[in-house]
Amino acid sequence: MNFSINLKRNIRPVVLIMLIICIILSLSLTSAGLARSDSAVVREIQSVLESQIAAWNDGSIEGFMAGYWKSDSLLFTSGGKIQRGWQATFDKYKKSYDTKSKLGILKFSQLEINLLSSDCAWIFGHWELRREKDHPEGVFTLVMKRFPEGWKIVHDHTSAAQSENIKK
């Protein structure tokens, strides 16, 4: 009888330690899975932004606008002005950037992609245009949402700044 009592006393700590190890391993594997999932989502968002840059630099406002939610609820703010709706935003871009020289070469940098959920993110970054006669630049904040057709910008707040105001 003494033998079985000692055995039970010795097994309990071992079982408890094994249970703790299993919980720790389970949590670390779950975290690793989430990290892989998060990095895949970040790559998807980066891909949308890279496609926008490529389209812009090819002179395609249509391609650039493919990154935006095609809805009357799209919200675009810049220069203290509010633009609502995909079509109105598209029309404004077409009017403002009606030549290749006005489009210039677009570059995004210092991107910070922050996931709010598995289907929503906000992005902060710097933009710049290299054009023959000037070099406008500034910052932007985007809200992106995942739709069945992929990630789309649902809100864009872009501002221009003097070069000395932008930290590189």
pLDDT tens by residue, 132-150: 999 999 999 999 999 999 9
Question: Residue 167: its pLDDT value, please?
Answer: 45
pLDDT tens digits along 32-90: 444 457 899 999 999 999 999 999 999 999 999 999 999 999 999 998 999 999 999 99
Q: What is the pLDDT of residues 2-13, one digit of tens each?
A: 545 554 555 565
Write down the pLDDT at residue 29.
42
**CB within 8 Å of 160: residues ≥ 6 apart:** 78, 79, 136, 137, 138
pLDDT tens, residue by residue, 88-119: 999 999 999 999 999 999 999 999 999 999 99
Question: Would you give the end-to-end CA distance of the chain in angstroms?
Answer: 76
Report the b/e string of 104-142 with b at 16+ CB within 10 A. bebebeeeebeeeeeeebebebbbbbeeeeeeebbbbeb
Please give the CATH number for the structural domain made up of 2-165.
3.10.450.50
For the chain, the structural domain boundaries read 2-165
